[in-house]
Amino acid sequence: MPGNTTEGSSAHMMDGAIPAGLLAAVRSKRPLIHHITNSVTINDCANITISAGAAPVMAEAPEEVADMVAAAGALVLNIGTLSATQVEAMLAAGRRANDLGIPVILDPVGAGATPFRTAAVLRLLDALEVAVLKGNAGEIGVLAGTGGSVRGVDSGGVTGDPVETALACARAMGTVVSMTGAVDVVTDGSRVYLVKNGVPAMDRLSGTGCMAASVTAAFVAVADDRAVASAAALAAFGRAGERAAAGARGPYSFRTGLFDELAGLTPDDLGQHARIEER
């Protein structure tokens, strides 16, 4: 479990009306979420975006990404199956998004696994203003320089305290860090939110990390406070996982339930069951 970030720090639960209001805003505004993402999970990302209440577009041709992102409420960049051409498309879309004030959510899938992958993430972070860096503990630990391990695209965890790792990464990168795990850690470098929704089955299904980035983008698209929006998004996704697990017989019935339960999740249910601890 994550420890306190400062001696004598106090913690309290976020008012459930906040994530409930953000979910209602996503459903009301139905923002367009532009994805340049990986080929393994692209369909799941599109459908989870719809289930959250937003609208997806999956476009990565360098010839059109700058035009496409101009209509979006947020841009998701996911390097899960990256190529040199895709990185160039991400840079073009990201620069256009920055020019227009459209938030960029970067999912550094497998950062630390290979030099090419790590260099691509660092290049994107250097060239673009990233609103939210959403990764697992291993990826965030690698990028923070505090120690993390990645095997393929799976997290091997961090060597130190997860909260301190997320804080160090947020401060080094100047962005909101959303670090998923048994307890999700969201921080802007000063405030810390611990999201305690979710179930272990979410870690045993391919694509849930990518889907979490899509849900995060939907919430960030309708909010001014990107840290609060990121925490609310993970609570909503985790709550859907809790509901899906109750009726699942295995990984694929759980997968189906995850989409169904997020689509059916009401602001009232999220408001009652979101478990977001503020520090």
Q: What is the pLDDT of residues 67-123, one digit of tens each?
A: 999 999 999 999 999 999 999 999 999 999 999 999 999 999 988 888 999 999 999
Q: How many CB atoms lie within 10 A of CB 95?
A: 17
pLDDT over threshold 80, residue 223: yes
Q: What pLDDT is recorded for position 159? A: 58
**Domain-embedded: residue 72:** yes
Whether residue 105 contacts residue 111, with contact meaning beta carbons closer than 8 Å, is answered with no
Q: What pLDDT is recorded for position 11? A: 83
Alpha-carbon distances, residue 210 vs 51, 54, 242 (angstroms): 14, 16, 18
Determine the Cα–Cα distance for residues 144 and 276; give it in Å rounded to an integer: 24
Tens-place pLDDT, residues 229-255: 999 999 999 999 999 999 999 999 999
**Domain-embedded: residue 4:** no
pLDDT over threshold 90, residue 163: yes
pLDDT over threshold 90, residue 130: yes
82 exposed, middle or buried (CB, 10 Å; 0-12, 13-18, 19+)?
buried
Q: Compute φ and ψ for 67, nearest 5 degrees.
A: -70, -40
Provide mean pLDDT across the span 210-236. 98
pLDDT over threshold 50, residue 216: yes
Q: What pLDDT is recorded for position 203? A: 87
Entry pTM = 0.92
**Domain-embedded: residue 7:** no
**Domain-embedded: residue 31:** yes
Provide mean pLDDT across the span 124-140. 95
pLDDT over threshold 70, residue 154: no
**Is 13 annotated in some ligand binding site?**
no
pLDDT over threshold 50, residue 156: no
Q: What's the chain's average pLDDT? A: 92
Q: How many CB atoms lie within 10 A of CB 132?
A: 28
Determine the Cα–Cα distance for residues 274 and 279; give it in Å rounded to an integer: 16
CA atoms within 13 A on the CB side of 211: 23
Contacts with 174 (C-beta within 8 Å, 6 or more apart), sequence order: 189
Q: How far is CA 213 from the centre of its chain?
A: 3
Determine the Cα–Cα distance for residues 239 and 262; give it in Å rounded to an integer: 8
**Domain-embedded: residue 3:** no
Domain holding 59: CATH number? 3.40.1190.20
pLDDT over threshold 70, residue 155: no
**Is 134 annotated in some ligand binding site?**
yes
Question: Which DSSP symbol is given to 207?
Answer: T
Range of the domain at 58: 12-278
Determine the Cα–Cα distance for residues 5 and 172; give it in Å rounded to an integer: 17
Q: Compute φ and ψ for 159, nearest 5 degrees.
A: -85, -25
Determine the Cα–Cα distance for residues 232 and 146; give it in Å rounded to an integer: 26
Q: What pLDDT is recorded for position 147? A: 59
Q: What pLDDT is recorded for position 8? A: 40
Q: How many domains does the chain have?
A: 1
Tokens representing 15 are 């008012």
Tens-place pLDDT, residues 32-56: 999 999 999 999 999 999 999 999 9
**Is 29 annotated in some ligand binding site?**
no
**Domain-embedded: residue 27:** yes
pLDDT over threshold 90, residue 157: no
